[in-house]
Amino acid sequence: MLLAQFTDTHVLERDELQFLDNNASLASIVESLNAETRRPDLVLATGDLTNWGSPAQYELLAELLSPLEIPLLPLIGNHDVRETTRKLWPDAPWADTEHASWVTTRDEVTIIGLDSTDPDTHGAVFDDDRCAWLGSCLSSAPGPVILAMHHPPFTTGVDWMDASGFVGLTEFRRLIAEHSDKLLRILCGHFHRPVTTTVEGVTASVCPGGAYHVGLELHPNAERSVIRDPRGYQLHLLDGTDIVTHTRYVDTGEVAFDPGWT
């Protein structure tokens, strides 16, 4: 199975520019996904799909995604709206809960989308309801599991991003440790640049942003910064219980070529 993941596209109002043309970046991602020579089986969109969750931004998000020829499952980020997201994708396997989580099975792999957001904060929230729901999903999964969520369940060392916090992180990590033998990967967004670590022995990764990137500065007193690094998405190739992840950059102006080596 081949999973694609993009994140943090921050779709803006029509003709609105922020640091760059976020909407054009998403259009390029969709075009590139459709052009993959091995077509992904599923696309995971791990949140902050819109910039502020306005009706106009959701309308444009739907328009930009309409050419995508691959099934897509969305997660919301702290910039999105639960009710609007669920209405835009009425056929997604949403959980019967207030939080916008879902679970599905593809090729004997259980894929769980955990809503880590709370409308009152930019940070993550893992409350009792979500703990019970995720615990049930993990316990009932018959085989390997991929967990997707917006907020990374770890600190990155970029303090101004980490400061938004993760309420319930201790309980989340306890649950991950309890089911680490099933979990293949934790796929995240939110951080706007690629990061990889382990959480209770499980590999956890952040996909590059579909819009601007967070500036990479690990000094404790570093000021907030963003950078126009190349945007892109990731391809997660599953072979049994192994996952290999590749990053595809878009809008670089470069194409692959034969170097002519002998």
Position of tokens 């999105």?
A: 80
Domains of the chain: 2-250 (3.60.21.10)
What is the structure's pLDDT at 116?
98
Q: What is the DSSP string of 17-75?
A: -SSS-HHHHHHHHHHHHHH-SS--SEEEEES--BSS--HHHHHHHHHHHTT--S-EEEE
pLDDT at 19 over 90: no
pLDDT at 247 over 90: yes
What is the structure's pLDDT at 100?
97
Number of H helices, E strands in the chain: 6, 15
pLDDT at 46 over 90: yes
120: tokens are 């009152």
> 201: pLDDT confidence band, cut at 50, 70 and 90?
very high
List of residues 6+ apart from 125 with CB closer than 8 A: 116, 117, 118, 166, 167, 168
Question: For 113-125, how does the pLDDT look when each residue is reduced to its tens digit (9 = 90+)?
Answer: 999 999 999 999 9
